């Protein structure tokens, strides 16, 4: 989001799956397309996603459309999504779903990875946000991802800022070097490995001057930095989409921060894993800042040509998918109203084009966005039905509920066709210097489990010291536990358990994922 908003935030802080008639894609050549089509048709958007030309495809090779909302706050000094001072997070997510948004973009800053970061301004009265009490910011993110997945929403994580103080033009600062940026991106990719609710990561929000695209200067060339970061993410979680925003200026032509993707034609982002890049543009109206095209006598008829020049050509020329990660306005001026109507039309109505359309996440859910306002009004409950109504034609159906784990229909991670499992992690005792915990594995699928593995990532320096009824490996803070010989087979609806000791204590219960192997 643009700059006056950032100042306002600091003050505030005290898919569709529709078959495409007549459209053939290259998806049928992808190995994921071998997954059972009937199961995927019943569960649009299931599993991890990939790209083919201008389309985003689900695990079965069928097109999906991101039609979502930005919910900010993790990137501010509250270190948690805003509005939790007014409402329970689950009621917010339920409302997003009820309005027809199928994806949440969650901005965050690298402060979330610092040991001294403590989330604040959360109301726990009357039972609100009860399961967030005592959690760190990344653990709160786990809960939001888990609940969003249960409701059939997907999540895109957005590295919005290097720290809560504000946006940076480049992907690094003196306090947060590139090495820290990449290490934290990899940590998130590892944290949500096996959980396809998190479909991808937006590498850095709104690079702008002096950032360049294709200039070859490794200290400024955002395209080269995006390749380094994207490959680092895919080295630990090759299933994720990599969302790459534009810059401000290319060959002397300037536009919105992060909104100029003109350089893609000559200098595309090339990653080691194919079919993972989605280009992201940001576009705003006069409530954010004036641009020359708003005063053109032909406005708003001139706008499609503007969008074509900066980013729309990528979609129209079938180069890659385009996702408008941010666009918004207060809607107070007639110009802004015409702009939003024109942009929504340019994104292509779902009823006409299905998922062969431009994806988007509107800015923002929050009403406390200083220069756009939000879908919610200032009471954090009432919907701005006028603003929300502008988006009706480009909304798209949600996705299968259940958390988006590797056992979902259509996900190649489900080798048994109906084998799936869930896991529950419980701390039995914690004495500071160490702790004991138990994990219960339940067969949530339709066929018997032959074997299973459970994965989690601790937010701190915890290590397993001993484990019983399972074997394990630990890499950094990530643990993978596999069944023992005697408890790998689990009947439908039945459970198996294992336990372990670890140190130091105080880590709480991390989010866990279970995979039928």
Burial 444-457 (b: 16+ CB within 10 A, else e): bbeeebebbbbbbb
| CA–CA gap between residue 238 and residue 68 (Å, rounded) | 24
CA within 13 Å, CB half, 196 = 28
Cα four-point dihedral sign 164, 9, 103, 353? negative
Question: And the tokens for 360?
Answer: 């988007």
How many Å apart are CA 363 and CA 182, to the nearest integer? 26
Helical (H) or strand (E) element with 429: strand 421-430
Annotated catalytic residues are 206, 326
Provide the 3-class DSSP secondary structure of residue 189: helix
Q: Are 414 and 444 in contact (CB under 8 A)?
A: no
Check if the beta carbon of residue 41 is closer than 8 Å to that of residue 68.
Answer: no
CA atoms within 13 A on the CB side of 121: 16
In angstroms, rounded to a whole number, what is the distance separating the alpha carbons of residues 343 and 339? 6
CA 268 – CA 26 distance, rounded (Å)? 19
Residues 6+ apart with CB under 8 A from 457: 187, 190, 191, 477, 478, 479, 510, 511
* Pick from 281, 314, 275, 231: nearest CA to 57: 275
Helix (H, G, I), strand (E, B) or coil at 210: coil
**Cα(511)–Cα(423) distance, rounded to whole angstroms?**
9
| 502 strand-pairing partners | 435, 464
Residues 407 and 513: their CA atoms lie apart, in Å, by 10
């Amino acid at each position: 989001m643009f700059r006056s908003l950032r100042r306002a935030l600091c003050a505030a802080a005290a898919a569709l799956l529709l078959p495409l008639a007549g459209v053939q894609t290259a998806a049928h050549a992808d190995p994921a397309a071998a997954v059972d089509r009937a199961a995927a048709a019943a569960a649009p958007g299931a599993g991890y996603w990939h790209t083919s030309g201008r389309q985003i495809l689900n695990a079965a090779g069928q097109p999906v459309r991101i039609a979502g909302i930005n919910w900010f706050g993790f990137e501010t000094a509250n270190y948690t999504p805003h509005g939790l001072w007014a409402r329970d997070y689950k009621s917010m997510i339920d409302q997003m779903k009820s309005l027809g948004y199928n994806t949440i973009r969650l901005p965050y800053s690298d402060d979330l990875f610092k040991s001294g970061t403590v989330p604040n301004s959360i109301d726990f009265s009357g039972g609100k946000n009860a399961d967030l009490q005592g959690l760190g910011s990344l653990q709160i993110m786990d809960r939001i991802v888990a609940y969003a997945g249960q409701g059939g929403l997907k999540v895109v994580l957005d590295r919005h800022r290097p720290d809560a103080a504000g946006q940076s033009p480049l992907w690094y600062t003196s306090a947060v070097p590139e090495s820290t940026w990449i290490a934290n991106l990899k940590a998130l990719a590892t944290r949500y490995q096996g959980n396809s609710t998190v479909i991808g990561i937006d590498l850095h929000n709104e690079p702008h001057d002096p950032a360049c695209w294709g200039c070859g200067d490794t200290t400024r060339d955002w395209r080269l930095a995006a390749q380094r970061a994207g490959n680092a993410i895919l080295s630990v979680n090759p299933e994720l989409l990599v969302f790459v925003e534009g810059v401000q200026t290319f060959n002397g032509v300037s536009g919105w921060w992060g909104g100029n993707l003109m350089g893609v034609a000559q200098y595309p982002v090339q990653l080691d894993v194919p079919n993972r890049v989605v280009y992201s543009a940001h576009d705003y109206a006069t409530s954010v800042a004036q641009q020359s095209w708003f005063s053109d006598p032909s406005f708003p008829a001139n706008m499609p040509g503007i969008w074509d020049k900066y980013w729309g050509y990528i979609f129209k020329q079938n180069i890659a998918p385009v996702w408008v990660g941010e666009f918004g306005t207060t809607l107070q001026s007639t110009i802004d109203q015409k702009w939003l109507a024109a942009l929504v039309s340019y994104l292509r109505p779902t009823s006409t084009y299905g998922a062969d359309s431009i994806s988007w996440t509107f800015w923002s859910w929050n009403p406390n966005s200083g220069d756009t306002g939000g879908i919610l009004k200032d009471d954090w409950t009432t919907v701005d039905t006028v603003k929300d109504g502008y988006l009706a034609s480009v909304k798209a159906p949600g996705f299968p509920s259940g958390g988006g784990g590797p056992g979902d229909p259509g996900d190649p991670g489900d080798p048994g066709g109906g084998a799936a499992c869930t896991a529950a992690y419980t701390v039995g005792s914690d004495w500071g210097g160490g702790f004991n915990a138990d994990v219960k594995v339940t067969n949530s699928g339709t066929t018997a489990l032959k074997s299973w593995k459970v994965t989690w990532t601790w937010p701190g320096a915890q290590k397993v010291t001993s484990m019983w009824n399972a074997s394990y490996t630990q890499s950094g803070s990530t643990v993978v536990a596999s069944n023992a010989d005697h408890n790998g087979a689990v009947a439908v609806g039945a459970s198996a358990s294992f336990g372990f000791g670890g140190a130091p204590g105080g880590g709480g219960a991390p989010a866990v994922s279970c995979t039928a192997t």
